[in-house]
Amino acid sequence: MKQLQIDLIPEEYASPSSVRRAVAQAMGVREDELEPFRITRRSIDCRRRPLYHCTVEVESGKWHPEGELNTLEKKKNVVKKVENDAKQTAAADLSTFHFPLSTKQVLIVGAGPAGLFAALRALQLGMKPIIVERGKPVEERKKDIVSLVRTKEVNPDSNWCFGEGGAGTYSDGKLYTRSTKRGDVSQVLRLFVEHGADPDIMVDVHAHIGTDRLPAIIASMRKTITEAGGEYHFNTRVTDLIVKDGRVCGVVTAAGDEIEADAVILATGHSARDIYELFTRRGWLLEAKPFALGVRVEHPQELINEIQYHGKNYSKLLPPATYSLTTQVYSNNQTTRQSSNQHGVFSFCMCPGGVIVPAATAGGQQVVNGMSNAARNSGFANSGIAVTVGSEDISSISRESSPTSLLDFQKSVERRAFEAAGNTIDAPSQRLVDFLRRKPSSRLNKSNYMGHCVSAPLHEILPDFVVDCLIQGFKDFDRKMRGFITEEASLLAVESRTSSPVRIPRDKETLQHPQLQGLYPCGEGAGYAGGIVSSALDGIRCVEAIGMLHSRQ
Protein backbone atom coordinates (compact mmCIF):
# COMPACT_ATOMS: atom_id res chain seq x y z
CA MET A 1 0.00 0.00 0.00
CA LYS A 2 1.45 3.34 -1.03
CA GLN A 3 0.00 6.64 0.09
CA LEU A 4 0.33 9.82 -1.95
CA GLN A 5 -1.12 13.30 -2.10
CA ILE A 6 -2.55 14.69 -5.30
CA ASP A 7 -4.17 18.02 -6.07
CA LEU A 8 -6.92 18.08 -8.68
CA ILE A 9 -8.81 20.97 -10.20
CA PRO A 10 -12.60 20.45 -9.97
CA GLU A 11 -12.90 19.45 -13.65
CA GLU A 12 -10.27 16.73 -13.16
CA TYR A 13 -11.86 15.56 -9.96
CA ALA A 14 -15.20 15.15 -11.72
CA SER A 15 -13.69 12.89 -14.37
CA PRO A 16 -12.52 9.39 -13.31
CA SER A 17 -10.15 9.12 -16.29
CA SER A 18 -8.44 12.39 -15.32
CA VAL A 19 -8.10 11.21 -11.75
CA ARG A 20 -6.55 7.97 -12.96
CA ARG A 21 -4.14 9.89 -15.13
CA ALA A 22 -3.14 12.12 -12.23
CA VAL A 23 -2.55 9.15 -9.92
CA ALA A 24 -0.50 7.35 -12.57
CA GLN A 25 1.57 10.48 -13.06
CA ALA A 26 2.15 10.86 -9.34
CA MET A 27 3.18 7.19 -9.16
CA GLY A 28 5.48 7.59 -12.15
CA VAL A 29 3.81 4.70 -14.01
CA ARG A 30 1.78 4.31 -17.21
CA GLU A 31 -1.99 4.23 -16.75
CA ASP A 32 -2.19 0.58 -17.78
CA GLU A 33 0.36 -0.25 -15.09
CA LEU A 34 -1.58 1.48 -12.36
CA GLU A 35 -2.62 -0.64 -9.37
CA PRO A 36 -6.07 -0.29 -7.71
CA PHE A 37 -6.36 2.87 -5.69
CA ARG A 38 -8.85 4.81 -3.64
CA ILE A 39 -9.22 8.25 -2.15
CA THR A 40 -9.03 8.06 1.63
CA ARG A 41 -9.11 11.79 2.52
CA ARG A 42 -10.42 14.76 0.61
CA SER A 43 -10.75 18.48 1.18
CA ILE A 44 -11.20 21.57 -0.95
CA ASP A 45 -8.59 24.31 -0.83
CA CYS A 46 -10.04 27.53 -2.19
CA ARG A 47 -7.36 30.00 -1.18
CA ARG A 48 -6.70 30.54 -4.90
CA ARG A 49 -8.28 28.62 -7.76
CA PRO A 50 -10.21 25.78 -6.04
CA LEU A 51 -8.32 22.51 -5.72
CA TYR A 52 -9.25 19.14 -4.33
CA HIS A 53 -6.50 17.95 -1.98
CA CYS A 54 -6.69 14.17 -2.03
CA THR A 55 -4.87 11.48 -0.14
CA VAL A 56 -4.77 8.41 -2.35
CA GLU A 57 -3.87 4.88 -1.32
CA VAL A 58 -2.57 2.69 -4.10
CA GLU A 59 -2.85 -1.02 -3.48
CA SER A 60 -0.95 -3.92 -4.87
CA GLY A 61 -2.68 -6.13 -7.45
CA LYS A 62 -4.11 -5.38 -10.82
CA TRP A 63 -6.23 -2.36 -11.73
CA HIS A 64 -9.95 -3.14 -11.71
CA PRO A 65 -12.88 -0.83 -12.40
CA GLU A 66 -14.19 -1.06 -8.83
CA GLY A 67 -11.06 0.67 -7.74
CA GLU A 68 -11.95 3.67 -9.85
CA LEU A 69 -12.37 6.94 -8.11
CA ASN A 70 -15.81 8.35 -7.83
CA THR A 71 -16.94 11.51 -9.44
CA LEU A 72 -18.95 13.95 -7.44
CA GLU A 73 -22.09 12.43 -8.93
CA LYS A 74 -21.02 8.78 -8.75
CA LYS A 75 -19.52 8.82 -5.32
CA LYS A 76 -20.88 5.43 -4.33
CA ASN A 77 -18.35 3.74 -6.62
CA VAL A 78 -15.64 6.07 -5.49
CA VAL A 79 -15.86 5.06 -1.88
CA LYS A 80 -16.93 1.50 -2.27
CA LYS A 81 -13.89 0.09 -0.63
CA VAL A 82 -13.87 2.75 2.06
CA GLU A 83 -17.46 1.85 2.78
CA ASN A 84 -16.66 -1.83 3.08
CA ASP A 85 -13.68 -1.13 5.28
CA ALA A 86 -15.69 1.21 7.47
CA LYS A 87 -18.53 -1.29 7.76
CA GLN A 88 -16.18 -4.13 8.56
CA THR A 89 -14.41 -2.17 11.26
CA ALA A 90 -17.66 -0.86 12.68
CA ALA A 91 -19.14 -4.35 12.60
CA ALA A 92 -16.11 -5.50 14.52
CA ASP A 93 -16.84 -2.73 17.03
CA LEU A 94 -20.48 -3.74 17.34
CA SER A 95 -19.74 -7.44 17.69
CA THR A 96 -18.13 -6.63 21.02
CA PHE A 97 -21.56 -5.59 22.29
CA HIS A 98 -22.57 -9.19 22.61
CA PHE A 99 -20.39 -9.91 25.60
CA PRO A 100 -22.50 -10.83 28.59
CA LEU A 101 -22.96 -7.59 30.52
CA SER A 102 -21.52 -7.39 34.01
CA THR A 103 -23.65 -6.31 36.92
CA LYS A 104 -22.09 -2.85 36.68
CA GLN A 105 -24.66 -0.22 35.70
CA VAL A 106 -23.81 3.23 34.40
CA LEU A 107 -26.55 5.81 34.57
CA ILE A 108 -26.23 8.38 31.79
CA VAL A 109 -28.21 11.60 32.13
CA GLY A 110 -28.83 13.01 28.65
CA ALA A 111 -29.12 11.27 25.26
CA GLY A 112 -27.05 13.79 23.29
CA PRO A 113 -23.85 12.79 21.48
CA ALA A 114 -21.94 12.55 24.79
CA GLY A 115 -24.58 10.33 26.38
CA LEU A 116 -25.18 8.09 23.36
CA PHE A 117 -21.53 7.41 22.65
CA ALA A 118 -20.97 6.81 26.36
CA ALA A 119 -23.76 4.21 26.22
CA LEU A 120 -22.32 2.50 23.13
CA ARG A 121 -18.86 2.36 24.71
CA ALA A 122 -20.29 1.11 28.04
CA LEU A 123 -21.78 -1.86 26.19
CA GLN A 124 -18.44 -2.61 24.57
CA LEU A 125 -16.88 -2.62 28.02
CA GLY A 126 -19.57 -4.95 29.34
CA MET A 127 -21.42 -2.38 31.45
CA LYS A 128 -25.16 -1.78 31.25
CA PRO A 129 -26.07 1.80 30.30
CA ILE A 130 -29.27 3.30 31.71
CA ILE A 131 -30.06 6.45 29.74
CA VAL A 132 -32.30 9.02 31.42
CA GLU A 133 -33.53 11.70 29.02
CA ARG A 134 -35.92 14.58 29.76
CA GLY A 135 -37.14 14.69 26.16
CA LYS A 136 -38.87 12.29 23.81
CA PRO A 137 -37.69 9.66 21.34
CA VAL A 138 -36.51 11.35 18.17
CA GLU A 139 -39.63 10.45 16.16
CA GLU A 140 -41.94 12.20 18.66
CA ARG A 141 -39.54 15.06 19.25
CA LYS A 142 -39.90 16.13 15.65
CA LYS A 143 -43.59 16.90 16.23
CA ASP A 144 -42.71 19.27 19.09
CA ILE A 145 -40.24 21.09 16.88
CA VAL A 146 -42.87 21.56 14.18
CA SER A 147 -45.29 22.78 16.86
CA LEU A 148 -42.66 25.17 18.27
CA VAL A 149 -42.39 26.89 14.90
CA ARG A 150 -46.16 27.00 14.44
CA THR A 151 -47.26 28.11 17.91
CA LYS A 152 -44.06 29.93 19.01
CA GLU A 153 -44.42 28.09 22.35
CA VAL A 154 -41.29 26.31 23.60
CA ASN A 155 -41.76 22.97 25.36
CA PRO A 156 -38.99 23.08 28.04
CA ASP A 157 -38.35 19.34 27.71
CA SER A 158 -38.63 18.89 23.96
CA ASN A 159 -37.16 21.43 21.57
CA TRP A 160 -34.17 22.08 19.31
CA CYS A 161 -31.74 21.21 22.13
CA PHE A 162 -33.64 18.71 24.30
CA GLY A 163 -34.80 15.24 23.36
CA GLU A 164 -33.19 12.09 21.98
CA GLY A 165 -29.98 12.90 20.10
CA GLY A 166 -29.61 16.17 22.02
CA ALA A 167 -28.63 19.41 20.33
CA GLY A 168 -26.83 17.50 17.60
CA THR A 169 -29.93 15.96 16.01
CA TYR A 170 -31.51 18.91 14.25
CA SER A 171 -28.21 20.37 13.20
CA ASP A 172 -25.94 20.51 10.21
CA GLY A 173 -24.24 17.44 11.64
CA LYS A 174 -20.76 18.78 10.99
CA LEU A 175 -18.36 16.14 12.19
CA TYR A 176 -15.05 17.89 12.46
CA THR A 177 -13.38 18.94 15.59
CA ARG A 178 -10.47 21.30 16.14
CA SER A 179 -9.30 19.09 18.96
CA THR A 180 -7.94 15.75 17.84
CA LYS A 181 -6.21 15.31 21.18
CA ARG A 182 -9.45 14.22 22.81
CA GLY A 183 -9.44 10.74 21.28
CA ASP A 184 -9.89 8.66 18.19
CA VAL A 185 -12.23 10.61 15.89
CA SER A 186 -12.48 7.69 13.47
CA GLN A 187 -14.01 5.59 16.25
CA VAL A 188 -16.90 8.06 16.37
CA LEU A 189 -17.21 8.29 12.58
CA ARG A 190 -17.24 4.50 12.23
CA LEU A 191 -20.12 4.23 14.67
CA PHE A 192 -22.03 6.85 12.69
CA VAL A 193 -21.43 4.85 9.49
CA GLU A 194 -22.50 1.63 11.15
CA HIS A 195 -25.75 3.32 12.11
CA GLY A 196 -26.51 4.58 8.63
CA ALA A 197 -24.34 7.63 7.89
CA ASP A 198 -22.85 7.97 4.40
CA PRO A 199 -19.37 6.35 4.45
CA ASP A 200 -18.08 9.51 2.78
CA ILE A 201 -17.81 10.97 6.28
CA MET A 202 -14.68 8.83 6.68
CA VAL A 203 -13.17 10.53 3.62
CA ASP A 204 -14.17 14.19 3.78
CA VAL A 205 -12.01 16.33 6.04
CA HIS A 206 -15.03 18.58 6.58
CA ALA A 207 -17.69 15.91 6.76
CA HIS A 208 -21.31 16.52 7.68
CA ILE A 209 -24.40 14.34 7.88
CA GLY A 210 -27.41 16.67 7.58
CA THR A 211 -30.49 17.08 9.72
CA ASP A 212 -32.66 15.02 7.36
CA ARG A 213 -30.42 11.97 7.97
CA LEU A 214 -29.58 12.33 11.66
CA PRO A 215 -32.89 11.24 13.27
CA ALA A 216 -32.75 7.79 11.60
CA ILE A 217 -29.14 7.37 12.77
CA ILE A 218 -30.09 8.27 16.33
CA ALA A 219 -33.00 5.80 16.23
CA SER A 220 -30.66 3.11 14.90
CA MET A 221 -28.27 3.75 17.81
CA ARG A 222 -31.19 3.30 20.18
CA LYS A 223 -31.89 -0.09 18.57
CA THR A 224 -28.26 -1.16 19.04
CA ILE A 225 -28.24 -0.01 22.65
CA THR A 226 -31.53 -1.64 23.65
CA GLU A 227 -30.80 -4.88 21.78
CA ALA A 228 -27.47 -5.17 23.56
CA GLY A 229 -29.08 -4.75 26.98
CA GLY A 230 -29.14 -0.97 27.54
CA GLU A 231 -32.17 0.82 28.93
CA TYR A 232 -33.86 4.16 28.09
CA HIS A 233 -36.08 6.32 30.27
CA PHE A 234 -37.62 9.05 28.09
CA ASN A 235 -39.72 11.97 29.37
CA THR A 236 -37.68 11.70 32.58
CA ARG A 237 -36.07 14.88 33.81
CA VAL A 238 -33.40 14.51 36.49
CA THR A 239 -33.91 16.98 39.31
CA ASP A 240 -31.43 15.78 41.93
CA LEU A 241 -28.65 13.32 42.64
CA ILE A 242 -28.74 10.63 45.29
CA VAL A 243 -25.62 11.15 47.39
CA LYS A 244 -24.59 8.75 50.17
CA ASP A 245 -21.36 9.40 52.12
CA GLY A 246 -20.10 11.79 49.43
CA ARG A 247 -20.76 9.24 46.72
CA VAL A 248 -23.34 9.62 43.94
CA CYS A 249 -25.30 6.41 43.55
CA GLY A 250 -28.24 7.49 41.44
CA VAL A 251 -30.64 10.25 40.45
CA VAL A 252 -34.01 11.59 41.48
CA THR A 253 -36.47 12.41 38.71
CA ALA A 254 -39.08 15.14 38.39
CA ALA A 255 -41.74 12.50 39.13
CA GLY A 256 -39.96 11.77 42.44
CA ASP A 257 -38.64 8.37 41.36
CA GLU A 258 -35.15 7.24 42.30
CA ILE A 259 -32.95 5.36 39.82
CA GLU A 260 -29.80 3.85 41.27
CA ALA A 261 -26.55 2.89 39.53
CA ASP A 262 -22.85 2.36 40.23
CA ALA A 263 -21.78 5.53 38.46
CA VAL A 264 -23.56 8.56 36.97
CA ILE A 265 -22.45 10.37 33.82
CA LEU A 266 -23.94 13.86 33.69
CA ALA A 267 -24.20 14.75 29.99
CA THR A 268 -27.02 17.27 30.04
CA GLY A 269 -25.67 19.80 27.53
CA HIS A 270 -25.08 23.52 27.87
CA SER A 271 -28.76 24.47 27.95
CA ALA A 272 -29.69 22.45 31.05
CA ARG A 273 -29.79 25.49 33.32
CA ASP A 274 -31.79 23.60 35.93
CA ILE A 275 -28.75 21.35 36.46
CA TYR A 276 -26.52 24.38 37.13
CA GLU A 277 -29.22 25.68 39.51
CA LEU A 278 -29.23 22.30 41.27
CA PHE A 279 -25.46 22.50 41.82
CA THR A 280 -25.76 26.06 43.12
CA ARG A 281 -28.59 25.14 45.48
CA ARG A 282 -26.74 22.11 46.82
CA GLY A 283 -23.45 23.98 47.19
CA TRP A 284 -21.60 21.65 44.81
CA LEU A 285 -18.62 23.09 42.94
CA LEU A 286 -19.21 24.96 39.68
CA GLU A 287 -16.91 27.36 37.85
CA ALA A 288 -17.60 30.28 35.51
CA LYS A 289 -16.27 29.58 32.03
CA PRO A 290 -15.68 32.01 29.15
CA PHE A 291 -18.18 31.57 26.33
CA ALA A 292 -19.05 33.50 23.17
CA LEU A 293 -21.93 35.75 22.22
CA GLY A 294 -23.03 37.32 18.96
CA VAL A 295 -25.37 37.00 16.03
CA ARG A 296 -26.11 34.69 13.13
CA VAL A 297 -25.21 36.16 9.75
CA GLU A 298 -27.03 35.05 6.63
CA HIS A 299 -25.99 35.51 2.97
CA PRO A 300 -27.25 34.13 -0.32
CA GLN A 301 -25.27 30.90 -0.78
CA GLU A 302 -24.44 31.87 -4.35
CA LEU A 303 -22.62 34.93 -3.10
CA ILE A 304 -20.53 32.85 -0.69
CA ASN A 305 -19.77 30.38 -3.50
CA GLU A 306 -18.61 33.22 -5.72
CA ILE A 307 -16.37 34.69 -3.04
CA GLN A 308 -14.87 31.38 -1.97
CA TYR A 309 -14.56 29.81 -5.41
CA HIS A 310 -13.38 33.04 -7.07
CA GLY A 311 -16.24 33.42 -9.52
CA LYS A 312 -19.18 31.53 -10.91
CA ASN A 313 -17.26 28.87 -12.88
CA TYR A 314 -17.31 26.19 -10.23
CA SER A 315 -20.80 26.39 -8.81
CA LYS A 316 -21.87 23.19 -10.60
CA LEU A 317 -18.67 21.26 -9.90
CA LEU A 318 -18.20 22.02 -6.23
CA PRO A 319 -20.40 21.67 -3.14
CA PRO A 320 -21.90 24.80 -1.52
CA ALA A 321 -18.95 26.72 -0.14
CA THR A 322 -18.16 27.08 3.54
CA TYR A 323 -15.97 29.56 5.39
CA SER A 324 -14.19 29.75 8.69
CA LEU A 325 -13.15 33.19 9.88
CA THR A 326 -11.39 34.40 12.94
CA THR A 327 -9.77 37.61 14.12
CA GLN A 328 -8.58 39.42 17.24
CA VAL A 329 -9.92 42.90 18.01
CA TYR A 330 -9.70 45.45 20.82
CA SER A 331 -12.93 46.87 22.15
CA ASN A 332 -13.24 50.33 23.70
CA ASN A 333 -15.36 48.83 26.37
CA GLN A 334 -16.39 51.41 28.94
CA THR A 335 -18.14 48.77 31.01
CA THR A 336 -15.02 46.75 31.68
CA ARG A 337 -12.21 47.39 34.09
CA GLN A 338 -9.73 47.95 31.27
CA SER A 339 -10.15 50.74 28.74
CA SER A 340 -9.25 48.41 25.97
CA ASN A 341 -9.83 44.70 25.86
CA GLN A 342 -8.74 42.05 23.44
CA HIS A 343 -11.42 39.69 22.16
CA GLY A 344 -11.59 36.90 19.64
CA VAL A 345 -14.29 37.24 16.99
CA PHE A 346 -14.96 34.09 15.00
CA SER A 347 -17.40 32.32 12.75
CA PHE A 348 -19.07 29.36 14.39
CA CYS A 349 -21.19 26.46 13.14
CA MET A 350 -21.28 27.66 9.54
CA CYS A 351 -24.17 26.03 7.66
CA PRO A 352 -23.92 26.19 3.85
CA GLY A 353 -27.33 25.81 2.22
CA GLY A 354 -28.81 25.97 5.69
CA VAL A 355 -31.71 27.19 7.75
CA ILE A 356 -31.71 29.36 10.88
CA VAL A 357 -33.70 27.88 13.76
CA PRO A 358 -35.17 29.13 17.04
CA ALA A 359 -33.07 27.25 19.61
CA ALA A 360 -34.51 28.56 22.90
CA THR A 361 -35.12 25.94 25.58
CA ALA A 362 -37.73 27.78 27.62
CA GLY A 363 -40.13 30.69 27.39
CA GLY A 364 -38.78 34.22 27.67
CA GLN A 365 -35.60 33.48 25.65
CA GLN A 366 -34.67 34.22 22.07
CA VAL A 367 -31.76 32.13 20.72
CA VAL A 368 -30.82 31.29 17.13
CA ASN A 369 -28.71 28.52 15.67
CA GLY A 370 -28.26 26.88 12.28
CA MET A 371 -28.83 23.54 10.60
CA SER A 372 -28.79 22.07 7.07
CA ASN A 373 -29.98 19.04 5.18
CA ALA A 374 -27.48 16.62 3.68
CA ALA A 375 -27.81 18.33 0.28
CA ARG A 376 -27.22 21.79 1.76
CA ASN A 377 -29.49 23.20 -0.88
CA SER A 378 -31.59 25.92 0.79
CA GLY A 379 -29.90 28.69 -1.18
CA PHE A 380 -28.80 30.49 2.01
CA ALA A 381 -25.53 30.35 3.91
CA ASN A 382 -25.59 31.11 7.63
CA SER A 383 -23.05 31.17 10.40
CA GLY A 384 -22.75 32.26 14.00
CA ILE A 385 -20.39 35.22 14.41
CA ALA A 386 -19.44 35.38 18.06
CA VAL A 387 -17.25 37.40 20.42
CA THR A 388 -15.44 35.77 23.33
CA VAL A 389 -16.79 36.86 26.70
CA GLY A 390 -15.04 36.32 30.03
CA SER A 391 -15.87 37.25 33.62
CA GLU A 392 -13.76 40.43 33.34
CA ASP A 393 -16.05 41.70 30.56
CA ILE A 394 -19.09 41.77 32.78
CA SER A 395 -17.51 42.93 36.02
CA SER A 396 -19.33 46.24 35.96
CA ILE A 397 -22.64 44.68 34.90
CA SER A 398 -22.51 41.97 37.52
CA ARG A 399 -20.39 43.23 40.42
CA GLU A 400 -20.87 40.03 42.38
CA SER A 401 -18.62 37.52 40.69
CA SER A 402 -20.03 34.01 41.04
CA PRO A 403 -19.74 30.75 39.08
CA THR A 404 -23.02 31.57 37.39
CA SER A 405 -22.47 35.27 36.64
CA LEU A 406 -21.69 34.59 32.96
CA LEU A 407 -24.77 32.38 32.80
CA ASP A 408 -26.86 35.22 34.27
CA PHE A 409 -25.37 37.58 31.69
CA GLN A 410 -26.19 35.11 28.88
CA LYS A 411 -29.78 34.86 30.17
CA SER A 412 -30.17 38.65 30.32
CA VAL A 413 -29.12 39.09 26.67
CA GLU A 414 -31.48 36.31 25.52
CA ARG A 415 -34.28 37.99 27.49
CA ARG A 416 -33.58 41.35 25.81
CA ALA A 417 -33.68 39.72 22.38
CA PHE A 418 -37.00 38.05 23.26
CA GLU A 419 -38.48 41.37 24.36
CA ALA A 420 -37.18 43.10 21.23
CA ALA A 421 -39.14 40.59 19.18
CA GLY A 422 -42.38 41.54 20.96
CA ASN A 423 -42.06 38.78 23.58
CA THR A 424 -41.97 36.03 20.98
CA ILE A 425 -39.41 33.75 19.39
CA ASP A 426 -39.54 35.81 16.20
CA ALA A 427 -35.97 36.72 15.35
CA PRO A 428 -34.78 40.28 15.95
CA SER A 429 -33.08 41.08 12.70
CA GLN A 430 -31.07 43.84 11.02
CA ARG A 431 -29.28 44.18 7.73
CA LEU A 432 -25.52 43.87 8.19
CA VAL A 433 -24.86 47.24 6.54
CA ASP A 434 -27.29 48.94 8.95
CA PHE A 435 -25.73 47.23 11.97
CA LEU A 436 -22.34 48.60 10.91
CA ARG A 437 -23.87 52.11 10.80
CA ARG A 438 -25.71 51.45 14.09
CA LYS A 439 -29.07 52.27 12.59
CA PRO A 440 -32.26 50.17 12.54
CA SER A 441 -33.26 48.59 9.24
CA SER A 442 -36.26 50.10 7.53
CA ARG A 443 -36.55 46.94 5.45
CA LEU A 444 -35.20 43.43 5.92
CA ASN A 445 -33.67 41.02 3.43
CA LYS A 446 -35.30 37.70 2.64
CA SER A 447 -34.29 35.18 5.29
CA ASN A 448 -34.42 31.44 5.73
CA TYR A 449 -35.25 31.68 9.45
CA MET A 450 -37.81 29.06 10.57
CA GLY A 451 -40.22 31.67 11.80
CA HIS A 452 -40.64 35.39 11.36
CA CYS A 453 -37.97 38.07 11.44
CA VAL A 454 -38.72 41.46 12.97
CA SER A 455 -36.63 44.54 12.42
CA ALA A 456 -34.83 45.41 15.65
CA PRO A 457 -31.73 47.45 16.54
CA LEU A 458 -29.27 44.66 17.37
CA HIS A 459 -26.66 47.33 18.13
CA GLU A 460 -28.85 48.28 21.12
CA ILE A 461 -29.88 44.78 22.17
CA LEU A 462 -26.35 43.41 22.38
CA PRO A 463 -23.90 44.74 24.99
CA ASP A 464 -21.76 47.64 23.70
CA PHE A 465 -18.47 45.79 23.80
CA VAL A 466 -19.97 42.91 21.78
CA VAL A 467 -21.31 45.35 19.16
CA ASP A 468 -17.96 47.09 19.05
CA CYS A 469 -16.08 43.82 18.52
CA LEU A 470 -18.58 42.51 15.97
CA ILE A 471 -18.27 45.67 13.87
CA GLN A 472 -14.49 45.39 13.81
CA GLY A 473 -14.74 41.67 13.17
CA PHE A 474 -17.08 42.07 10.19
CA LYS A 475 -14.75 44.67 8.67
CA ASP A 476 -11.81 42.31 9.02
CA PHE A 477 -13.82 39.42 7.56
CA ASP A 478 -14.68 41.59 4.57
CA ARG A 479 -10.97 42.15 4.01
CA LYS A 480 -10.45 38.38 4.09
CA MET A 481 -13.56 37.55 2.04
CA ARG A 482 -14.23 40.53 -0.27
CA GLY A 483 -17.98 41.00 -0.54
CA PHE A 484 -18.82 39.56 2.90
CA ILE A 485 -20.23 42.96 3.83
CA THR A 486 -23.09 43.39 1.41
CA GLU A 487 -26.58 44.86 1.24
CA GLU A 488 -27.80 41.27 0.94
CA ALA A 489 -26.46 40.07 4.31
CA SER A 490 -28.73 39.87 7.38
CA LEU A 491 -28.04 39.48 11.08
CA LEU A 492 -30.34 37.56 13.41
CA ALA A 493 -30.09 37.60 17.20
CA VAL A 494 -28.98 36.15 19.41
CA GLU A 495 -26.23 33.57 19.00
CA SER A 496 -25.64 32.84 22.66
CA ARG A 497 -25.41 29.04 22.99
CA THR A 498 -22.03 28.61 21.38
CA SER A 499 -20.65 26.87 24.46
CA SER A 500 -21.35 26.59 28.15
CA PRO A 501 -20.77 29.66 30.35
CA VAL A 502 -20.30 27.28 33.30
CA ARG A 503 -17.94 24.39 33.97
CA ILE A 504 -18.76 21.49 36.26
CA PRO A 505 -15.26 20.64 37.46
CA ARG A 506 -13.80 17.15 37.45
CA ASP A 507 -10.55 15.50 38.47
CA LYS A 508 -8.09 15.32 35.55
CA GLU A 509 -7.28 11.66 36.18
CA THR A 510 -10.48 10.04 37.41
CA LEU A 511 -12.87 12.48 35.64
CA GLN A 512 -15.04 12.53 38.78
CA HIS A 513 -16.42 15.68 40.37
CA PRO A 514 -14.03 16.74 43.17
CA GLN A 515 -16.76 16.60 45.83
CA LEU A 516 -18.93 13.86 44.40
CA GLN A 517 -17.35 10.44 43.89
CA GLY A 518 -19.13 8.44 41.21
CA LEU A 519 -20.29 11.55 39.30
CA TYR A 520 -18.72 12.10 35.87
CA PRO A 521 -19.49 15.59 34.46
CA CYS A 522 -19.37 15.06 30.71
CA GLY A 523 -19.70 16.71 27.31
CA GLU A 524 -20.54 20.26 26.35
CA GLY A 525 -22.69 21.09 29.37
CA ALA A 526 -19.91 20.28 31.79
CA GLY A 527 -17.52 22.42 29.72
CA TYR A 528 -15.29 19.65 28.35
CA ALA A 529 -16.40 19.58 24.73
CA GLY A 530 -17.87 21.72 21.99
CA GLY A 531 -19.60 20.07 19.06
CA ILE A 532 -20.88 16.63 18.19
CA VAL A 533 -17.60 14.78 17.76
CA SER A 534 -15.79 16.19 20.78
CA SER A 535 -18.86 15.56 22.96
CA ALA A 536 -19.06 11.98 21.69
CA LEU A 537 -15.36 11.52 22.44
CA ASP A 538 -15.84 12.89 25.94
CA GLY A 539 -18.68 10.43 26.54
CA ILE A 540 -16.38 7.59 25.51
CA ARG A 541 -13.62 8.94 27.79
CA CYS A 542 -15.89 9.09 30.83
CA VAL A 543 -17.07 5.51 30.38
CA GLU A 544 -13.51 4.32 29.94
CA ALA A 545 -12.57 6.08 33.20
CA ILE A 546 -15.41 4.21 34.92
CA GLY A 547 -14.26 0.95 33.31
CA MET A 548 -10.68 1.50 34.52
CA LEU A 549 -11.84 2.09 38.07
CA HIS A 550 -14.12 -0.94 37.89
CA SER A 551 -11.31 -3.18 36.65
CA ARG A 552 -9.10 -2.09 39.59
CA GLN A 553 -11.80 -2.88 42.18
Ligand X SMILES: Cc1cc2nc3c(=O)[nH]c(=O)nc-3n(C[C@H](O)[C@H](O)[C@H](O)COP(=O)(O)OP(=O)(O)OC[C@H]3O[C@@H](n4cnc5c(N)ncnc54)[C@H](O)[C@@H]3O)c2cc1C
Which residues would be at the binding site for ligand X (CB under 6 A)?
109-115, 132-135, 160-163, 166-168, 170-174, 237-238, 267-269, 272, 274-275, 349, 357, 359, 369-371, 523-525, 529-533, 535
Neighbours of 45 (CB within 10 A): 11
Cα–Cα separations (whole angstroms), residue 253 to 70, 138, 231: 51, 21, 16
Pick 14 or 106: Cβ nearer ligand X: 106
| The amino acid at 274 | D
CA–CA gap between residue 338 and residue 332 (Å, rounded): 9
DSSP letter for each residue of 430-479:
EEHHHHHHT---SS-----BSS-EEE--HHHHS-HHHHHHHHHHHHHHHH
- For the chain, the residue count is 553
Q: Which residue, 24 or 132, is less far from ligand X as judged by CB? A: 132
Rounded-to-integer distance, Cα 393 and Cα 207, Å? 35
To ligand X, the closest distance from the beta carbon of 223 in angstroms equals: 18
The letter for the amino acid at 201 is I
In the complex with ligand X, the residue whose CB is nearer, 130 or 307, is 130
Cis-peptide into 58, omega within 30 deg? no
Q: In this complex, which beta carbon is closest to ligand X, that of residue 354 or of residue 518?
A: 354
Shortest distance, position 141 Cβ to ligand X, whole Å: 9
Report the C-alpha gap between 174 and 23 in whole angstroms. Answer: 29
Residue 49: strand, helix, or coil: coil
Phi, psi of 329 (to 5 degrees): -135, 165
- Nearer to ligand X by Cβ, of 167 and 297: the residue is 167
Q: How far is the CB of 304 from ligand X (least distance, A)?
A: 17
User: Minimal distance in Å, beta carbon 299 to ligand X?
Assistant: 18
Burial class of residue 346, CB neighbours in 10 A (0-12, 13-18, 19+): buried
Q: Which is nearer to ligand X, 174 or 541 (CB)?
A: 174
Q: How far is the CB of 367 from ligand X (least distance, A)?
A: 8
Instruction: For ligand X, give the closer residue by CB, 67 or 173.
Output: 173
Q: How far is the CB of 492 from ligand X (least distance, A)?
A: 13
Q: Least separation, in Å, of the C-beta of 11 and ligand X?
A: 30
In the complex with ligand X, the residue whose CB is nearer, 24 or 214, is 214
Give whichever of 171 and 448 is closer to ligand X, judged by the CB atom.
171
Q: How far is the CB of 277 from ligand X (least distance, A)?
A: 10
Separation CA 180–CA 297 (nearest Å): 28
* CB 278, min distance to ligand X, A: 8
All residues at 6 or more sequence positions from 21 whose CB lies less than 8 Å from its CB, including other chains: 31
Q: How far from the centroid of its chain's Cα atoms is residue 20's Cα? A: 36
